[in-house]
Amino acid sequence: MNNNKLSKLLTIVAVIIALIAAFFYIRVLMTGDEAFKLKDAADPEAVRNLQNTIISPFVWVTTIVLIITIVAALFSSISSLVKKPEQLKKTFLSIAVLGVLLLISYFMHDATEVLDANGKLLKGGAAGETSNVWSSTGIWYVVILGGIGLALFLVDMVKSIVKS
């Protein structure tokens, strides 16, 4: 399939997704936000049913689009690696580097207990709790990757200043 046909196909798919999203958005606007509030509702069960009929399809469409996007990205990446096997070594090396950085982040995590503003222990915030450990690991991972990105940006900026 050449680029022009692929571009037209992707445009058509994007328009269809936009039309579906617009349909659900208009449904939400027509219902109004008051219908989604459970406070002071005469019939809370009816409000829940209304919420399910309006919001559940919206969530399903979003989930389907996300799954399609993930599959397309994986297919594109894998097909590119199959077509160019020399890139496979670089890809595995990059994944290994990211894995090492994740391990470093994991060992840097702070699994102490998490307290709210009043000093009370938050749910899932006990010392050593899995969610607490991985949240801290994720924060350190982002900090390390951000630091590396910033350092590489500064090196590139200095090189371009020196060249000119």
Model pTM score: 0.58
- Tell me, what's the pLDDT at 42? 67
As averages over each run of 10 residues, the pLDDT of the chain (164 residues) reads 76 88 82 64 70 78 88 88 86 94 91 76 72 85 96 95 88
Q: Are 151 and 158 in contact (CB under 8 A)?
A: no
Neighbour-count burial for 44-61, b at 16+ CB within 10 Å, e otherwise? eeebeeeeeebeeebeee
